[in-house]
């Protein structure tokens, strides 16, 4: 080896050593205002050498040059560049970025920056929820989120709400899935609204597909408070008290007017109008509707250390309804915590609630109580009376009396618990195990004492034997979900991979008994009187779901985004061979504002496009829906024997091929911000086809059963657009304000069905208004279109609609409806029935405004719907029904002395069929409401006490005003189980849940009036 060669080798080795010695390892912790920040990308600037922080916010990065610069970036926070300058430990605190696309949202099995989202997700935070004082937190969502329609059936405290995410998508159950701190639930009625930190709604298939066959109706993810790390204990107290008042009354007849109505009806029927006036005038509407108080008291304690945080809360809520015999009481306790030990983390969430309530089920039963009976009749057993003289020609029940006589006590208890364990195996690779459980018990005791009110309609107006219905039930659900998550950044390529599995087990037990003739009206439970049991029922039902899923989130330069999800479910609700479904989704996004050609200093500060396609499943059927059930009460007769012997028989047929419903959705979206990110806008368009929708299909009686068979037989389409906007004004002065607006428009259609479906009946004769038919909106109203009334016999004789219908012409009298001949055949018959309206609004909207000036704050929330119709069944009972009081509009009904009117004659014979479904009962349900108005004042500047950190007093009004043309108590009537034809449950009493949320939408069967509520409160922090 010559000298030159030797020298060259030595210089190379020396340079290599120097180079290596200049490289070092850097470690540290990345935090934000509330604690460590996991998932932060750290990269050596100008290289592909990088890493991410673990769930403690810690990182280690090797091969870093002494003069290198580290770039710390995390979506939702301002990127920081830090020179190494030979440091081996670099701790960084990232500041939140106010840019529009950088919010952090909760998604299935994790969190994600809104900037990275490629699906349609809406979010609402605690301050928007707590502005509404309500027994049911679901109702606080109304009008707050685009694409989410919340309907409550009147103003009963704690009443359930219908929630539809992007329209009605199923004929069996269209309610969304709820995920509370990782635990699966069917609703959130039991939650304390003050515990909720934020709520996310996964609206499209690309965001909800991770939940598979449970997500076809949307997913609502609820996160409750968990406290803050490195914070001293804080105690918050929230005390509210208020009163419910009546916002509207109906115009009803008084005693004298009612007698005049009865006499005119008799005259119209060819009888003498000779009913005497008993001189009684009782305003039962005034007696039944009263003011009620609200009490809402709660506190919470939160805090945390370096590796832990905790939150404990307790709340008491009590509300008296507007109606007599109606009250709701809820107690809540919650304990959440989080602990970190090295690379191990455990999160705990436990909540318990107890709801006790009574319901006035008599109020919505047909019409109002007649005013010609006394409010009290002490001589009668029970102390009340009903019509008891045949001279009036009517019967009917005393709803005021029955509401007080029938004692309907309900108790529901709920425990929802969740444990989440996570361990970082290696850098970026985290294993998690989520274990959730929900236990719900319910008990209903409905006792009706002995009483006498009348011999007329004695089946309902006299109760010689007291009766008791007791229903007990429990539901136990467990959910186990192991997942493995790997996050890795390779240069400007970022990967987030998730795989996991899930097992859900649900067991439901119910037991009901009906007894008569207990020894005393003071004995209101079955106790030792088993011999008095007349009927019993119940059962045990099991439901299991096994799943595997995976998700890939990828972005390049954080501006080209892609997400793919697949989930495979296997359920016990369907037969082998039909019980497995696979549900994929794909979506992509482009952050245009990160392109070099985009001018961020122009009008638009940020701009992102989104698009996706996905499939979801639905298994909304009861257990054993695919199996024939044996009826134990099927006696049979053998040979010539005249007697019967007990037997068993299959009385219903099933389709063993019953399987998943499938939802296929296309979604396009745009997110942008303007005016220095103060104005944020979001647009979405979606088109969702639900195929293989499960429907009860009618079959010929010759098959041996009159019951329909559930089959995958229908298809439904929902399409529409959504818009959300928010504007923030904060120029650093004393005055700031925020405005939020959302709007959504949805069109739905039944696109395939083997036969039309009719909704539930609403009267004793079985009249039905709702209909489901191919090419029409779901549950549209079906009946006759009218063109006023016949004001004279000449109009009947010359009506071209009756040109070929002498039979109907002979039935008609002046004062009857003039029906429109839809098919122009000169005959009025059932073929002339047509669509009369649609219970689904053309669009819904909400406007949220909040402002602060020095220590003052103001909040106002408006919401409304436009373009929906309501079928006013109250109008049917208040005009045509034989019994009960009548609406004031009958004063202007047709008579020979009052021919110039559009209101039909009153009659009990109704040969013309005026009471049949028609547009007379259909009204515009559009409304605009100032739902909440709140003003508050904070005393922080005047307290002067170290142990009080905050104090605020406020006044709140709910249901301030409503602008509407609807004639009923309130245009927000949702679905209503008060109708005669909708009674379901054990032994015929009215159920407590809206079982017919799809089929009887838009029917107002005397929905309870919605109160105007006045609340004052104080909030303090220590």
Residue with the larger pLDDT of the pair 764 and 569: 569
What pLDDT score does 250 carry? 94
494 pLDDT above the threshold of 80: yes
What pLDDT score does 942 carry? 65
979 pLDDT above the threshold of 80: no
What pLDDT score does 703 carry? 67
Tokens (6 digits) for 621: 């059927």
What pLDDT score does 945 carry? 60
Distance between CA 991 and CA 987 in Å, rounded?
Answer: 10
Is 802 within 8 Å of 810 (Cβ atoms)? no
Kindly list the distances between the CA atom of residue 530 and the CA atoms of 249, 516, 525, in Å, as whole numbers in the listed order.
46, 10, 10
Q: What is the pLDDT of residues 561-605, one digit of tens each?
A: 999 999 999 999 999 999 999 999 999 999 999 898 988 778 889
Which range has highest mean pLDDT (40-54, 624-638, 735-749)?
A: 735-749
Q: Degrees (nearest 5) of the Cα angle 835, 839, 841?
A: 115
| CA 301 to centroid of chain Cα atoms | 30
What's the pLDDT band for 991 if we cut at 50, 70, 90?
Answer: very low
Q: Which one of 93, 119, 136 terminates a domain?
A: 93
Distance between CA 451 and CA 468 in Å, rounded?
Answer: 14
Distance between CA 288 and CA 1007 in Å, rounded?
Answer: 14
Is 782 within 8 Å of 771 (Cβ atoms)? yes
Kindly list the distances between the CA atom of residue 416 and the CA atoms of 179, 180, 183, 475, 481, in Å, as whole numbers in the listed order.
11, 8, 7, 12, 16
543 pLDDT above the threshold of 50: yes
Q: What CATH number should be reported for the domain holding residue 37?
A: 2.60.40.1120
Pairing between strand 735-752 and 709-730?
A: antiparallel
Q: What is the pLDDT of residues 1001-1021, one digit of tens each?
A: 899 987 888 999 999 999 998
Distance between CA 155 and CA 319 in Å, rounded?
Answer: 11
Q: Please report whether residue 27 resides in a domain.
A: yes
Lowest mean pLDDT among 54-58, 215-219, 641-645, 872-876: 641-645
Is 621 within 8 Å of 575 (Cβ atoms)? no
What's the pLDDT band for 760 if we cut at 50, 70, 90?
Answer: confident
Nearest to 697 by CA among 639, 755, 622, 621: 755
Q: Which one of 71, 93, 115 terminates a domain?
A: 93
505 pLDDT above the threshold of 60: yes
Q: Is 557 in a helix, a strand, or coil? A: coil
Lowest mean pLDDT among 182-186, 649-653, 672-676: 649-653
Q: Which one of 93, 125, 144 terminates a domain?
A: 93
What pLDDT score does 635 carry? 66
Q: Please report whether residue 213 resides in a domain.
A: no
Q: What is the pLDDT of residues 772-822, one digit of tens each?
A: 999 999 999 999 999 999 999 999 999 999 999 999 999 999 999 999 999
What pLDDT score does 416 carry? 95
Residue with the larger pLDDT of the pair 52 and 245: 245
Distance between CA 407 and CA 325 in Å, rounded?
Answer: 8
What's the pLDDT band for 143 if we cut at 50, 70, 90?
Answer: confident
Q: Please report whether residue 636 resides in a domain.
A: no
Lowest mean pLDDT among 68-77, 400-409, 518-527: 68-77
Q: Please report whether residue 795 resides in a domain.
A: yes
107 pLDDT above the threshold of 90: no
749 pLDDT above the threshold of 70: yes
Instruction: List, as one string, the DSSP characters of 342-387.
Output: TTEEEEEEEEEEEEEEE---STTSSSPPPTTS-S--TTSTTS----
Distance between CA 464 and CA 453 in Å, rounded?
Answer: 11
Lowest mean pLDDT among 69-78, 709-718, 957-966: 69-78
Q: What is the pLDDT of residues 221-238, one digit of tens each?
A: 999 999 888 788 889 999
Q: Please report whether residue 792 resides in a domain.
A: yes
Quote helix, strand, coil % in the chain, to nearest 5. 10, 50, 40
What's the pLDDT band for 632 if we cut at 50, 70, 90?
Answer: low
Find the mean pLDDT for residues 748-770. 90
Is 330 within 8 Å of 353 (Cβ atoms)? yes
437 pLDDT above the threshold of 60: yes
| CA 105 to centroid of chain Cα atoms | 20
Find the mean pLDDT for residues 691-702. 83
Residue 129 φ then ψ, to 5°: -80, -40
What's the pLDDT band for 558 if we cut at 50, 70, 90?
Answer: confident
Nearest to 680 by CA among 78, 75, 98, 79: 98
Domain containing 82 equals: 22-93
Q: Please report whether residue 451 resides in a domain.
A: no
Residue 271 φ then ψ, to 5°: -110, 170
Tokens (6 digits) for 358: 């009574």
Residue % of the chain over a pLDDT of 70: 91
Is 472 within 8 Å of 442 (Cβ atoms)? yes
423 pLDDT above the threshold of 90: yes
E-state strands within 965-1010: 1003-1004
Domain count, the chain: 2
Lowest mean pLDDT among 9-18, 406-415, 685-694, 883-892: 9-18
Distance between CA 471 and CA 542 in Å, rounded?
Answer: 19
E-state strands within 592-660: 604-618, 630-631, 649-650
Q: Backbone dihedral region of 396: left (phi > 0), alpha (psi from -120 to 50 degrees) or beta?
A: left
Distance between CA 693 and CA 663 in Å, rounded?
Answer: 9
Q: What is the pLDDT of residues 260-309, one digit of tens each?
A: 999 999 999 999 999 999 999 999 999 999 999 999 999 999 998 888 99
Distance between CA 47 and CA 444 in Å, rounded?
Answer: 68
Q: Please report whether residue 803 resides in a domain.
A: yes
Distance between CA 41 and CA 496 in Å, rounded?
Answer: 12
Kindly list the distances between the CA atom of residue 88 and the CA atoms of 27, 51, 52, 308, 532, in Å, as whole numbers in the listed order.
6, 15, 17, 27, 83
Q: What is the pLDDT of residues 659-675, one digit of tens each?
A: 999 999 999 999 999 98
Find the mean pLDDT for residues 517-536. 87
Tokens (6 digits) for 559: 């501006």
What pLDDT score does 34 carry? 65
Find the mean pLDDT for residues 443-469. 93
258 pLDDT above the threshold of 60: yes
Residue % of the chain over a pLDDT of 90: 63
472 pLDDT above the threshold of 50: yes
Tokens (6 digits) for 705: 């059963």
Distance between CA 335 and CA 317 in Å, rounded?
Answer: 18
Distance between CA 444 and CA 356 in Å, rounded?
Answer: 10
Kindly state the DSSP code that residue 179 receives in the 8-state scheme. E
987 pLDDT above the threshold of 90: no
103 pLDDT above the threshold of 70: no
Q: What is the pLDDT of residues 342-380, one digit of tens each?
A: 999 999 999 999 999 998 888 877 889 999 999 999 999
Average pLDDT, the chain: 88
485 pLDDT above the threshold of 80: yes
Q: Which residue, chain included where needed, has tokens 């639930």?
A: 185
What pLDDT score does 326 carry? 92
What's the pLDDT band for 984 if we cut at 50, 70, 90?
Answer: very low
Tokens (6 digits) for 22: 């200049």
Distance between CA 843 and CA 543 in Å, rounded?
Answer: 37
Q: Please report whether residue 956 resides in a domain.
A: no
């Amino acid at each position: 080896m010559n000298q030159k060669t030797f020298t060259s080798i030595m210089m190379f080795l020396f340079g290599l050593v120097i180079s290596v010695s200049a490289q070092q390892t850097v470690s540290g912790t990345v935090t934000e205002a509330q604690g460590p920040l996991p998932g932060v990308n750290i990269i050596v600037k100008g290289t592909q050498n990088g890493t991410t922080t673990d769930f403690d916010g810690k990182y280690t990065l090797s091969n870093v040059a002494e003069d290198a610069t580290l770039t710390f970036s995390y979506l939702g926070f301002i990127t920081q560049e830090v020179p190494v300058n030979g440091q081996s430990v670099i701790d960084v605190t990232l500041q939140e970025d106010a840019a529009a696309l950088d919010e952090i949202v909760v998604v299935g099995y994790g969190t994600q920056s809104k900037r990275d989202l490629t699906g349609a997700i809406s979010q609402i935070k605690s301050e928007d929820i707590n502005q509404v004082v309500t027994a049911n937190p679901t109702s606080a969502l109304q009008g707050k989120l685009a694409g989410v329609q919340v309907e409550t059936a009147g103003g009963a405290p704690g009443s359930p709400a219908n929630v539809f995410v992007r329209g009605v998508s199923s004929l069996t159950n269209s309610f969304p899935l709820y995920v509370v701190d990782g635990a699966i639930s069917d609703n959130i009625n039991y939650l304390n609204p003050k515990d909720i930190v934020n709520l996310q709604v996964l609206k499209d298939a690309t965001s909800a597909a991770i939940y598979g066959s449970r997500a076809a109706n949307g997913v609502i993810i609820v996160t409750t408070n968990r406290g803050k790390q490195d914070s001293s204990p804080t105690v918050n107290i929230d005390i509210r008290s208020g009163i419910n008042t009546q916002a509207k009354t109906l115009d009803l007849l008084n005693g004298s007017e009612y007698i005049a109505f009865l006499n005119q009806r008799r005259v119209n029927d060819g009888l003498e109008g000779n009913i005497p006036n008993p001189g009684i005038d009782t305003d039962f509407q005034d007696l039944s509707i009263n003011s009620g108080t609200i009490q809402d008291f709660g506190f919470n304690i939160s805090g945390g250390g370096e590796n832990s945080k905790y939150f404990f809360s307790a709340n008491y809520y009590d509300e008296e309804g507007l109606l007599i015999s109606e009250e709701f009481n809820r107690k809540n306790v919650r304990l959440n915590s989080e602990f970190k030990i090295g690379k191990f983390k455990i999160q705990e969430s436990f909540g318990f609630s107890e709801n006790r309530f009574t319901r006035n089920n008599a109020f919505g039963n047909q019409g109002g109580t007649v005013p010609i009976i006394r409010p009290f009749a002490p001589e009668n057993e029970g102390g009340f009376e009903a019509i008891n003289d045949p001279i009036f020609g009517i019967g009917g029940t005393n709803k005021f009396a029955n509401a007080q006589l029938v004692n309907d006590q309900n108790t529901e208890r709920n425990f929802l618990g969740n444990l989440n364990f996570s361990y970082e195996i290696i850098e970026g690779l985290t294993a998690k195990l989520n274990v959730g459980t929900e236990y719900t018990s319910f008990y209903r005791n409905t006792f009706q004492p002995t009483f006498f009110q009348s011999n007329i309609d004695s089946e309902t107006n006299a109760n010689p034997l007291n009766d008791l219905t007791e229903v007990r039930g429990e539901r136990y659900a467990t959910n186990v979900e192991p997942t493995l998550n790997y996050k890795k950044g390779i240069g400007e390529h970022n990967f987030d991979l998730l795989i996991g599995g899930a097992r859900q087990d649900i067991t439901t037990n119910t037991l009901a008994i009906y007894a008569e003739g207990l020894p005393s009206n003071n004995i209101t439970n079955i106790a030792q009187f088993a011999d008095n049991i007349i009927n019993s029922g119940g059962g045990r039902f099991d439901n299991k779901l096994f799943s595997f899923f995976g998700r890939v989130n990828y972005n390049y330069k954080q501006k080209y985004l892609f997400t793919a999800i697949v989930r495979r479910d296997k359920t016990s609700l369907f037969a082998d061979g039909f019980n497995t479904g696979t549900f994929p989704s794909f979506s992509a996004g482009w952050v245009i504002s990160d392109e070099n050609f985009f001018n961020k200093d122009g009008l638009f500060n940020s701009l992102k496009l989104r698009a996706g396609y996905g499939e979801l499943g639905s298994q909304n059927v009861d257990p054993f829906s695919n199996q024939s059930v044996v009826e134990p009460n099927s006696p049979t007769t053998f040979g010539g024997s005249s007697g019967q012997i007990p037997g068993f028989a299959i009385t219903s047929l099933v389709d063993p091929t019953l399987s998943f419903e499938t939802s296929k959705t296309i979604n396009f979206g745009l997110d942008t911000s303007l005016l220095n990110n103060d104005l944020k806008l979001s647009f979405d368009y979606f088109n969702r086809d639900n195929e293989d929708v499960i429907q009860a299909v009618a079959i010929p009686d010759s098959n041996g059963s009159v019951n329909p068979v559930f089959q995958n037989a229908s298809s439904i389409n929902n399409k529409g657009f959504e818009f959300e906007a928010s504007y923030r004004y904060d120029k650093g002065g004393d005055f700031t304000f925020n405005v939020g607006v959302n709007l959504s428009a949805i069109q739905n259609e039944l696109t395939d069905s083997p036969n039309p479906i009719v909704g539930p009946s609403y009267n004793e004769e079985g009249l039905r208004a709702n209909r489901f038919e191919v090419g029409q909106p779901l549950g549209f109203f079906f009946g006759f279109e009218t063109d006023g009334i016949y004001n004279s016999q000449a109009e009947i004789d010359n009506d071209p609609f009756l040109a070929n219908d002498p039979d109907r012409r002979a039935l008609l009298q002046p004062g009857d409806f003039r029906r429109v001949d839809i098919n122009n055949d000169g005959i009025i018959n059932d073929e002339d029935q047509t669509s009369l309206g649609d219970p689904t609004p053309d669009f819904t909207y909400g406007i949220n405004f909040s402002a602060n000036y020095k220590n003052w704050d103001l909040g106002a929330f408006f919401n409304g719907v436009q373009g929906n119709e309501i079928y006013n069944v109250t109008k049917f009972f208040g005009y045509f029904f034989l019994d009960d009081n009548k609406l004031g509009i009958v004063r202007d009904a047709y008579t020979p002395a009052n021919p110039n009117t559009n209101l039909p004659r009153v009659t009990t014979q109704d040969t013309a069929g005026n009471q049949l479904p028609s547009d007379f009962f259909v009204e515009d349900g559009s409304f605009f409401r100032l739902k909440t108005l709140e003003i508050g004042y904070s005393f922080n500047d005047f307290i002067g006490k170290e142990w009080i950190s905050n104090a605020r007093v406020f006044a709140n009004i709910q249901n301030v005003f409503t602008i509407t043309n609807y004639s009923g108590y309130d245009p927000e009537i949702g679905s209503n189980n008060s109708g005669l034809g909708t009674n379901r449950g054990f032994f015929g009493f009215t159920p407590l849940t809206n079982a017919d949320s799809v089929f009887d939408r838009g029917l107002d069967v005397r929905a309870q009036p919605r109160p105007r509520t006045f609340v004052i409160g104080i909030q303090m922090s220590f």
